[in-house]
């Protein structure tokens, strides 16, 4: 593979006879030997060729070998080219290039031993070959990654275009069925009304399928916006129970809700938790026979709250429990039940993932199935981590960003600061949120700029606040860089040191107080 | 007692325009229809509807752009607009709200809910 690469080395010596003897010594197939008679000529050639090695004579007039190497080190294009100095023994000077990249410098002493020089050169050629192979591999991987990304983008575009194209005619069909069903175009007889009722029900089913496909696609491509906040679960569970009680009552099913008193609040997106519950309750309703019971319950479990939906259906066979959350897996429904799309549980699982929880299924005590999921308890630290992750989206932080935390002594001050931040941010204002941090109301801003941009942003904020006649009070800020690939685990934030500086009305500087992150 | 409320239905899909017209006439409204931005402006100036049902994507035209244009016409900016869309782009609902839409429906919509929303916006005193 790498043998096809033509490698080049440069030999630098002021004596033509040395150059030709080196050429004679080193020549081999696949190797180009370039020669230069002076340091200046050598530097010019280095800028043009991609060299595996430079053999550099130390004693040359005008510019000696060490001076050439010093100039090479200063140039981005040549600083990584390995060097073998060809020199008379001169131990003091050997220290000169200890700063050069490790392993990239070697020495040969005159008179040159043909065996030694051949083997040393062979080592550097091998290094160059593996470097080229590595670079080619990286290029290929990048190419493959980009192609996959492109395919994935195209799939999303197709899905979103297809859903639009599906919905428009579906809307028309549903509307015309509805016009007949609702008697707008003349009173239908009972059979006609029933026909339209069935047609409408299936229109809704198809619409639900389109919604599910789009939701799943949005989640999988990281476009599902997750807006987590402190959430009071009992209230949300009660609303779900009320909304579902009618559906259950129609089938003679009992829907029970049991919430342990003093349940801690959780950190979650209320709309998405509702969707998870709707999917799980819908599933339970479908599999529970008429007259059966569905139980919805919640209790604290360690650092999380566990929510359970238990049905009195046939249960999920042990061999299926591992795959019920896969896409398009459809469980054997009760007799005469409408088959599902096989997407409801898959969506539930991904939505629970987004909240940082876990979902699962087990056998219920009475032979039915028990679906359960956890949601993390609300805490300041958890909220801050959630803000960072949600604000950044699921793009896995392709580039580093900055998180800015701003605090003032008074709420009014924070409001003024928020106004100014919004003015400066404008289009990025959705990356701004108020959170509780270390017991204080805090404005958290994710800046898409790197550190320099973030500092510019701070300077603008400072001058705006100074120009604002109203006293915002002392504003303290903490700025840290979120490294690529981080942002959603506890340890990422532990490593971040907070620096607080007074800003605004108080002169800045001088009091850098490292403030370690404390878990909320 | 149902008064003669005029509703302007704007959609580039002729079949949906007619079904909405049937539905709304059935509910006692007077209905006008349009499918392009210029038609909408013409209708608004000629017939002054009390409410507009507007598709967000009208072929190449943008429903929100039409809302902005209506906002610059005196007398038109007070007409409540109910937006309809066949896409569920996450940002659409927010954009609709920013443009001052009175309500927002994703197709296929529930006709009863749509009629309720129309009744609601008409009930608000101008």
CATH of the domain at B109: 3.40.50.2300
pLDDT in the model for residue A129: 92
Under a CB-based contact definition with an 8 Å cutoff, are residues A393 and A446 in contact?
no
Which of A196, A220, A244 terminates a domain? The answer is: A220
**A102 and A173 assigned to the same domain:** no
Tens of pLDDT along B60-73? 788 888 998 888 88
For residue A38, count CB atoms less than 10 angstroms from its CB and return exposed for 0-12, middle for 13-18, buried for 19 or more: middle
Residue A108, H or E segment: strand A105-109
Q: Do B23 and A178 touch (CB under 8 A)?
A: yes
pLDDT in the model for residue A304: 92
Nearest to A343 by CA among A288, A394, A279: A279
pLDDT in the model for residue B88: 64
Helices assigned H by DSSP within A409-450: 411-425
Nearest to A435 by CA among A457, A466, A414: A414
For residue A306, count CB atoms less than 10 angstroms from its CB and return exposed for 0-12, middle for 13-18, buried for 19 or more: middle
Mean pLDDT of chain A: 79
Q: Do B108 and A218 touch (CB under 8 A)?
A: no
Peptide bond into B108 cis (omega under 30): yes
Would B84 be classed as within a structural domain? yes
**A94 and A203 assigned to the same domain:** no
On the CB side of A489, how many CA atoms lie within 13 Å of its CA? Answer: 8
Please tell me whether residue A51 adopts helix, strand or coil conformation: strand
pLDDT in the model for residue B79: 92
| Residue B30 to chain A, least CA–CA distance (Å) | 15
pLDDT in the model for residue B17: 92
Q: How many domains does the structure of chain B reveal?
A: 1
| Residue B75 to chain A, least CA–CA distance (Å) | 31
When pLDDT is cut at 50, 70 and 90, the band that residue A461 belongs to is confident
pLDDT in the model for residue A138: 92
**A161 and A213 assigned to the same domain:** yes
Show residues of chain A in contact with B89, CB under 8 Å: 160
pLDDT in the model for residue A479: 66
**A448 and A502 assigned to the same domain:** yes
Whether A257 shows a pLDDT value over 90: the answer reads yes
pLDDT in the model for residue A297: 95
Can you give the CATH number for the domain in which A249 is found?
3.30.565.10
Domain that holds residue B83: 6-123
Nearest to A379 by CA among A230, A226, A228, A227: A230
Of A38-52, A499-513, B16-30, B81-95, where does mean pLDDT reach its minimum?
Answer: A499-513
Whether A513 shows a pLDDT value over 50: the answer reads no
Which among A104-108, A342-346, A390-394 has the top mean pLDDT?
Answer: A342-346
What is the rounded average pLDDT of the residues A58-76? 85
pLDDT in the model for residue A6: 85
Would B1 be classed as within a structural domain? no
Q: Where does residue A505 fall: left (phi above 0), alpha (psi -120 to 50 degrees), or beta otherwise?
A: alpha
Report CA dihedral (A447, A450, A454, A455) to the nearest 10 degrees: 170
Can you give the CATH number for the domain in which A428 is found?
3.30.70.270
Whether A319 shows a pLDDT value over 90: the answer reads no
Name the residue facing B108 among A164, A170, A182 (closest C-beta): A170
Name the residue facing A185 among B22, B86, B88 (closest C-beta): B22
Q: What interface predicted TM-score (ipTM) does this complex get?
A: 0.83
**Nearest residue of A to residue B114, measured between CA atoms:** A175
| Residue A164 to chain B, least CA–CA distance (Å) | 5
Show residues of chain A in contact with B107, CB under 8 Å: 167-168, 170-171
When pLDDT is cut at 50, 70 and 90, the band that residue A258 belongs to is very high
Contacts of A483 (CB under 8 A, 6+ apart): A397, A400, A492
Would A148 be classed as within a structural domain? no
Q: Do A171 and B26 touch (CB under 8 A)?
A: no
pLDDT in the model for residue A209: 84
When pLDDT is cut at 50, 70 and 90, the band that residue A394 belongs to is very low
Can you give the CATH number for the domain in which A30 is found?
3.40.50.2300
Under a CB-based contact definition with an 8 Å cutoff, are residues A384 and A444 in contact?
yes
Q: Do A207 and B108 touch (CB under 8 A)?
A: yes
B110: contact with A, CB 8 A cutoff: no
**A290 and A399 assigned to the same domain:** no
Q: Do B108 and A184 touch (CB under 8 A)?
A: no
Under a CB-based contact definition with an 8 Å cutoff, are residues A58 and A68 in contact?
no
- pTM to 2 decimal places: 0.59
When pLDDT is cut at 50, 70 and 90, the band that residue A102 belongs to is very low
Hey, what are A391's tokens? 């604000």
What is the rounded average pLDDT of the residues A77-98? 70
Would B29 be classed as within a structural domain? yes
pLDDT in the model for residue A520: 27
When pLDDT is cut at 50, 70 and 90, the band that residue A490 belongs to is very low
Query: A401-415 burial by CB neighbour count: b if 16+ within 10 A, else e?
Result: bbbbbbbbeeeebbe
Nearest to A446 by CA among A384, A395, A494: A384
Rounded-to-integer distance, Cα A276 and Cα A229, Å:
16
First to last CA, chain B: 18
Nearest to B28 by CA among B10, B3, B9: B3
When pLDDT is cut at 50, 70 and 90, the band that residue A112 belongs to is confident
Nearest to A167 by CA among B13, B51, B126: B13
Would B98 be classed as within a structural domain? yes
Which of A93, A112, A131 terminates a domain? The answer is: A112
Rounded-to-integer distance, Cα A372 and Cα A348, Å:
11
| Residue to test with chain A: of B11, B15, B17, B19, most A Cβ within 10 A | B19
Hey, what are A272's tokens? 């998405």
Which of A201, A220, A239 terminates a domain? The answer is: A220
pLDDT exceeding 70 applies to what percent of chain A? 78
Tens of pLDDT along A329-386? 776 655 555 566 788 899 999 999 989 899 999 998 878 899 999 999 988 777 777 7
Under a CB-based contact definition with an 8 Å cutoff, are residues A254 and A245 in contact?
no
Tens of pLDDT along A397-449? 445 567 777 777 677 778 878 888 877 776 554 567 777 776 777 888 777 66
Name the residue facing B13 among A168, A179, A211 (closest C-beta): A168
Rounded-to-integer distance, Cα A468 and Cα B121, Å:
41
Whether A229 shows a pLDDT value over 90: the answer reads no
Nearest to A112 by CA among A95, A90, A87, A82: A87
Show residues of chain A in contact with B15, CB under 8 Å: 172, 176
Whether A64 shows a pLDDT value over 60: the answer reads yes
**A274 and A363 assigned to the same domain:** yes
Would A63 be classed as within a structural domain? yes
Would B32 be classed as within a structural domain? yes
pLDDT in the model for residue B47: 84
Tens of pLDDT along A126-182? 989 998 999 999 999 999 988 988 888 888 788 778 877 888 899 999 999 999 999
**A371 and A384 assigned to the same domain:** no
When pLDDT is cut at 50, 70 and 90, the band that residue A492 belongs to is very low
- Report which of residues A319 and A53 the model is more confident about: A53
How many other CB atoms are there within 10 angstroms of residue A339's CB atom? 11
Please tell me whether residue A460 adopts helix, strand or coil conformation: helix
Q: How many domains does the structure of chain A reveal?
A: 4
Domain that holds residue A171: 156-220
Whether B106 shows a pLDDT value over 80: the answer reads yes
Would A125 be classed as within a structural domain? no
When pLDDT is cut at 50, 70 and 90, the band that residue A516 belongs to is very low
Q: Do A175 and B111 touch (CB under 8 A)?
A: yes
Q: Do A218 and B57 touch (CB under 8 A)?
A: no
Show residues of chain B in contact with A171, CB under 8 Å: 16, 86, 107-109
Contacts of A464 (CB under 8 A, 6+ apart): A420, A423, A424
How many other CB atoms are there within 10 angstroms of residue A46's CB atom? 22
pLDDT in the model for residue A430: 54
pLDDT in the model for residue A334: 53
Rounded-to-integer distance, Cα A194 and Cα A10, Å:
89
**A316 and A451 assigned to the same domain:** no
When pLDDT is cut at 50, 70 and 90, the band that residue A93 belongs to is low
Under a CB-based contact definition with an 8 Å cutoff, are residues A323 and A384 in contact?
no
The beta-carbon contacts of A22-31 under 8 Å, at least 24 apart in sequence, are A22/A55, A25/A112, A25/A114, A25/A117, A25/A118, A26/A117, A26/A118, A26/A121, A30/A3, A30/A5, A30/A6, A31/A6, A31/A7, A31/A125
Query: A213-236 burial by CB neighbour count: b if 16+ within 10 A, else e?
Result: bbbbbbbbbebbbbebbebebeeb
Rounded-to-integer distance, Cα A372 and Cα A355, Å:
14
């Amino acid at each position: 593979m790498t043998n096809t690469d033509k490698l080049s080395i440069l030999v630098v010596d002021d004596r033509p006879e040395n150059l030709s003897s080196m050429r004679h010594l080193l020549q081999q197939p696949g190797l180009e030997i370039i020669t230069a008679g002076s340091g200046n000529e050598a530097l010019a050639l280095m800028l043009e060729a991609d060299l595996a090695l430079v053999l550099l004579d130390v004693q040359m007039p005008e510019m000696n070998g060490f001076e050439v190497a010093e100039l090479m080190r200063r140039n981005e294009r040549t600083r990584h080219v390995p060097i073998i100095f060809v020199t008379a023994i001169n131990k003091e000077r050997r220290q000169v290039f200890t700063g050069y990249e490790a392993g990239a410098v070697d020495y040969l002493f005159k008179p040159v031993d043909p065996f030694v020089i051949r083997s040393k050169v062979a080592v550097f050629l091998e290094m160059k070959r593996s470097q080229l192979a590595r670079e080619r591999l990286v290029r290929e991987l990048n190419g493959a990654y980009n192609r996959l990304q492109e395919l994935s983008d195209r799939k999303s575009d197709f899905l979103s275009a297809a859903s639009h194209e599906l919905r428009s005619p579906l809307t028309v069909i549903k509307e015309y069925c509805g016009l007949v069903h609702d008697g707008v175009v003349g009173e239908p007889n009972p059979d006609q009304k029933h026909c339209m009722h069935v047609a409408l029900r299936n229109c809704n089913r198809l619409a639900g399928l389109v919604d599910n496909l789009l939701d799943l696609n949005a989640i999988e491509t990281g476009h599902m916006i997750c807006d987590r906040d402190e959430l009071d679960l009992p209230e949300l569970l009660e609303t779900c129970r009320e909304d579902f009680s009618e559906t259950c009552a129609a089938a003679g099913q009992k829907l029970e809700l049991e919430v342990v008193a003093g349940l801690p609040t959780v950190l979650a997106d209320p709309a998405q938790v509702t969707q998870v519950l709707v999917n799980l309750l819908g599933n339970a309703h479908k599999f529970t026979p008429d007259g059966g019971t569905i139980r919805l319950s919640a209790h604290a479990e360690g650092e999380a709250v566990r929510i359970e939906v238990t049905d009195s259906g046939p249960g999920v066979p042990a061999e299926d429990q591992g795959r019920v959350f896969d896409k398009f897996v459809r469980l054997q429904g009760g007799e005469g039940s409408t088959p599902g799309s096989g997407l409801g549980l898959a969506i539930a699982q991904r939505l629970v993932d987004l909240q940082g929880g876990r979902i699962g299924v087990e056998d219920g005590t009475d032979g039915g199935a028990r679906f359960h999921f956890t949601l993390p308890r609300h805490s300041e630290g958890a909220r801050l981590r959630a803000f960072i992750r949600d604000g950044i989206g699921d793009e896995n932080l392709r580039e580093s960003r900055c998180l800015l935390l701003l605090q003032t002594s008074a709420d009014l001050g924070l409001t003024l600061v928020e106004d100014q931040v919004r003015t400066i941010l404008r289009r990025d204002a959705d990356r701004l949120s108020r959170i509780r941090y270390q017991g204080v109301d805090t404005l958290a801003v994710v800046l898409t700029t790197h550190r320099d941009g973030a500092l510019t942003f701070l300077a603008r904020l400072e001058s705006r606040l100074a120009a604002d006649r109203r006293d915002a009070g002392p504003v303290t800020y903490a700025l840290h860089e979120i490294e690529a690939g981080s942002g959603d685990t506890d340890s990422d934030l532990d490593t971040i040191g907070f620096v607080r500086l007074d800003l605004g009305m108080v002169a800045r500087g001088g009091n850098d107080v490292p403030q370690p992150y404390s878990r909320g | 007692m149902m008064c003669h409320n005029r509703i302007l239905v704007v959609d580039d899909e002729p079949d949906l325009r007619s079904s909405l017209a049937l539905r709304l006439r059935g509910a006692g409204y007077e209905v006008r229809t349009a499918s392009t931005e210029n038609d909408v402006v013409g209708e608004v100036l000629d017939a002054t509807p009390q409410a507009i049902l507007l598709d967000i994507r009208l072929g190449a035209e943008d429903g929100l752009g039409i809302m902005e244009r209506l906002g610059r016409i005196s007398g038109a900016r007070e007409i409540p607009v109910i937006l309809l869309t066949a896409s569920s782009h996450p940002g659409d609902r927010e954009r609709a709200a920013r443009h001052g839409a009175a309500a927002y429906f994703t197709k296929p919509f529930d006709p009863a809910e749509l009629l309720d929303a129309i009744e609601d916006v008409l009930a608000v005193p101008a």
